[in-house]
Amino acid sequence: MPLQIARPDQSVIVPLYGRVESAVAPGGDYLPMWVDWDDIIGVPYDIPVVGYGGKTVNYLRLFAAKASQNFDMAIFNHGDYIRAVQRKIESEMVSKVLYPTESVSFGKELRLVQEYFLVACGLRDITRRFVAQNKNFEEFADYVAIQLNDTHPALTVVELMRYLVDERRIDWEKAWDITRATCAYTNHTLLPEALELWSVSLIEKVLPRHLQIIYEINSRFLKKVEGKYPDDNEKLRRMSLICEEGIKKVRMANLAVVGSHSVNGGSALHSELVKTRLFPDFHELEPDKFNNKTNGVTPRRWMLKANPPLSSLLTDTLGACWITDLSKLHKLDGYMNDREFRARFMQAKQDNKIRLANFIKATLDVNIPPDAIFDIQAKRIHEYKRQLLNVLHIIHRYLEMVDNEVEPSSAQAFIFAGKAAPGYWEAKQIIKLIHSVANVINNDPRTKGLLKVAFVPDYRVSLAEKIIPACDVSEQISTAGTEASGTGNMKFAMNGALTVGTYDGANIEMLEEVGGDNFYLFGLKQEEVEKTLREGSYHPRGIYNHSPEIRQVFSALLENRFSPDEPDLFRWVVDKLLSDNEQYMHLADFKSYCEAQKQIVKDYSDKELWSGKAILNTARMGKFSTDRTMQEYAEDIWNIKQVKG
């Protein structure tokens, strides 16, 4: 990449594997020695990021993994070229392979090495800069703030302790105070499986000194807990950094919480659930460290750059003030009934829809009518985000048209985009189902011009910049209590899309901003989902028995209407969704979702009504700018004061 500036002079040595030898310092203190380690070289590459207006240039620093010894001539001279370059191949894999599957031991080990590699490179870079300022390490937290984005960089807590204790010879307690004052933790998911657990044996193999430090942190922490809650062994078990059940594992989320001075979620609901569902014991112990920072997105990228027709209209109407202060969008209230403004707003939407329709035609050879409702779900493919619920409704709409002869008042185009982890079987099957349903519907002459389905491949930022401005209806349909926040929901609404969504994540705060008349809310709330699952009272077969619509959809799947050449290909969908263990409760929300979709079609047919709703969504998204979010992080967590320029 031409804008990547290599900085080999600032390369970092990253130690791995080896063993720890016990020694005694001259003063009699314990002196552990990490010896016989292998190493990888982290070579920094800087990408300049120019701020809006061009007055500031920041640098995004990435690290490439290189072997310390690229070629073994002795092995090569024996005729084994592959073994001669094996070290180079294995080392460079660390920064070349994205999301290795953890279903095999090699994949797990590579993932752990990757996480430590990036932590070690980043922290070494930070400390190098700090040392160059000739500051005292007791002031470290006054100059450095490290935000742990989920548990993937949680090893930062341990690596910083290792650096301060082993390399700087700082007393443990003082080093711990520095570490906690420096680190803060943002939780990004409520799903238990996403809270990383690394086996003790694997950490001992890859990072033997770090395991020692983890045990020491845990021992001191549990003594503190025991002092406050004597004889509560269950609390000690839950709060321990080590999970003792079965194979011993390190709880990286617990490590991140214990090693940070601040813990936050990405939306008001999420942050509350972080306190009450994920970390209730930690919240009880240190309630003041928990807080909320609702996510935001940048209007410079997702409006100004991605949507020139709308941006031009906003600037003509409001001036350029909205670009750096999104709260100024509230001034659009004065133009809600302005006929010319409404016409230009909807023309901007139409221009974007035509652009996306042309792209889909060129990419997929699918004709999307630009006057259709562009109903879009663009996000990571996951069961909790419920692309399956969307597909069930699409099948229902199709069967209504071709079997029940119900003609819709507005044409609909259902557009999907998103990626998934390569080892996630269900996600890949959902993608296959979407394609199979699309193939049938798009080639059925009975639905021509009325119903289309498209899965746009290779989802990426440049594609999102085409998809988001063209959206009429934004699908934010996760099971309530599973989505931490969402940011796609904000991007779509900023660009004049209406949301069909559950009472989940940042949807709740968006609903509060736009009002219930301008948001298609459906489904169970988080407390209803939790109560149902806790009591074991979710029985989807009962819902199936009382819903002719669901029975019709499932019959179509079982009769192979969408997989005529692959019998029973989608039987798993029926079996899964009828199981009492189906934790995302698709069928519980199906009827409510279909009713919301019917209301959408009805409202869209009234162009004046729809344009007003769309404009109001754009006007009410000022809260969801990253400018507001970053200011809150700076003031509340990082203790950064604003510089007047």
88 pLDDT band, cuts 50/70/90, is low
pLDDT tens digit sequence for 225-279: 999 999 999 999 999 999 999 999 999 999 999 999 999 999 999 999 999 999 9
β-pairing, 57-67 with 373-378? unpaired
Q: Is the pTM of this model over 0.85?
A: yes
More confident residue, 645 or 505: 505
14-29 tens-digit pLDDT: 999 999 998 877 777 7
Confidence (pLDDT) at 417: 98
Does residue 64 carry a pLDDT above 60? yes
Q: Which ranges of 163-207 would DSSP assign to H, the alpha helix? A: 172-182, 200-206
Strands (E), 101-218: 146-149, 183-186, 197-199
Residue 451 placed within a domain: yes
**Number of neighbouring beta carbons within 10 Å of residue 463:** 17
As a residue count, the chain comes to: 645
Q: Can you give the pLDDT at residue 68?
A: 74
3-state SS class at 503: coil
Asked if residue 506 belongs to a domain, the reply is yes
The helix or strand, by DSSP H or E, that contains position 509, with its residue range, turns out to be: helix 507-514
Going by C-beta distance under 8 Å and a sequence separation of 6 or more, which residues neighbour residue 565? none
pLDDT at 492: 98
Rounded to a whole number of angstroms, the distance between the first and last alpha carbons of the chain is 33
Catalytic residue among 270, 349, 385, 396: 385
Tokens representing 441 are 């519907």
Query: Using an 8 Å Cβ cutoff, are 337 and 344 in contact?
Result: no
Structural domain includes residue 493:
yes
| Annotated catalytic residue, options 151, 479, 487, 502 | 487
What per-residue confidence (pLDDT) applies to 3?
81
The answer to whether residue 365 is domain-embedded is yes
The lowest-confidence range among 128-137, 173-182, 355-364 is 128-137
Q: Residue type for 101, please?
A: T
**Which of these, 364, 443, 454, lies nearest to 418 by C-alpha position?**
454
Asked if 491 is an active-site residue, the reply is yes
Residues 185-215 pLDDT 10s = 999 998 877 789 999 999 999 999 999 999 9
Q: Which residue has the tokens 């020692």?
A: 212
For residue 546, what are the β-bridge partners?
none
Q: What is the pLDDT of residue 456?
A: 98
Please confirm, yes or no, whether 56 is among the known catalytic residues: no
Query: Do 98 and 82 touch, CB atoms closer than 8 A?
Result: no
502: which 2 tokens?
């559950």
> How far is residue 114's CA from residue 98's CA, in Å, rounded to a whole number?
9
pLDDT of residue 78: 53
Element (H, E) at 20: strand 19-24
Structure tokens at 469: 């401005």
Token output for 353: 């829809």
pLDDT at 158 over 80: yes
Poorest-confidence range of 192-196, 442-446, 586-590? 192-196
Q: What single string gives the DSSP state of each residue in 310-343? A: HHHHHHHHH-THHHH-GGGGGGGGGGTT-HHHHH
**Could you say which of 162, 289, 491, 623 is catalytic?**
491
pLDDT at 335 > cutoff 80: yes
Cα gap 488→469, rounded to integer Å: 12
* 547 falls within a domain: yes
- What pLDDT shows up at residue 513? 98
Q: Which amino acid is at 154?
A: A
Q: Which of 152, 205, 301, 380 is catalytic?
A: 380
Residue 355 forms part of a structural domain: yes
Judged against a pLDDT cut of 60, whether residue 12 lies above it is answered with: yes
- pLDDT (tens digit per residue) in 96-109: 777 777 666 678 99
**Is 168 a member of any domain?**
no
What's the rounded mean pLDDT across residues 18-41? Answer: 85
The SS3 assignment for 459 reads: coil
Residue tagged active-site, from 108, 152, 188, 238: 188
Which phi and psi angles does 529 have, rounded to 5°?
-60, -50
Q: Which domain holds residue 435?
A: 299-631
**Hey, how many other C-beta atoms are within 10 angstroms of the C-beta on 221?**
20
Beta strand pairing status for 451-455 and 12-16?
unpaired
Active site residue 541: no
The shares of helix, strand and coil residues in the chain, as percent rounded to the nearest 5, are 55, 15, 30
* Each residue's pLDDT tens digit, 417-438: 999 988 899 999 999 999 999 9
Between CA 643 and CA 630 the distance in angstroms is 14
pLDDT band at 74 (very low <50, low <70, confident <90, very high): low
**255/215 Cα distance (integer angstroms):** 11
Q: Beta strand 12-16 with 38-50: parallel, antiparallel or unpaired? A: antiparallel
- With contact defined as beta carbons under 8 Å apart, do 121 and 441 qualify? no
Share above pLDDT 70 across residues of the chain, in percent, rounded to a whole number: 95
What pLDDT sits at residue 645? 61
pLDDT at residue number 410:
92
Q: Which of 102-111, 130-139, 248-257, 400-409 has the lowest mean pLDDT?
A: 102-111
**Annotation marks residue 531 as catalytic:** no
Alpha carbon distance 338, 326 (integer Å): 21
169 given a catalytic annotation = no
Q: Give pLDDT, residue 82.
A: 56
Q: What is the CATH number of the domain that holds 556?
A: 3.40.50.2000
Q: Average pLDDT in the 472-499 region?
A: 97
Tell me phi and psi for residue 337, to 5 degrees: -105, 10
**Number of domains within the chain:** 1
What Rg do the C-alpha atoms of the chain give, in angstroms?
A: 27
Q: Which of 156, 91, 92 is nearest to 127 (CA)?
A: 156
Tally of CB atoms within 10 A around 541: 12
Query: What is the pLDDT of the chain when averaged over all its residues?
Result: 94
Structure tokens given for 244: 């003792």
The answer to whether residue 188 is catalytic is yes
Which sign does the torsion angle of CA 442, 445, 447, 450 carry? positive
From 251, 261, 293, 379, active-site residue: 379
Handedness of CA 117, 462, 495, 437 (dihedral sign): negative
What's the rounded mean pLDDT across residues 162-167?
96
Query: Considering the domain boundaries, does residue 128 fall inside one?
Result: no
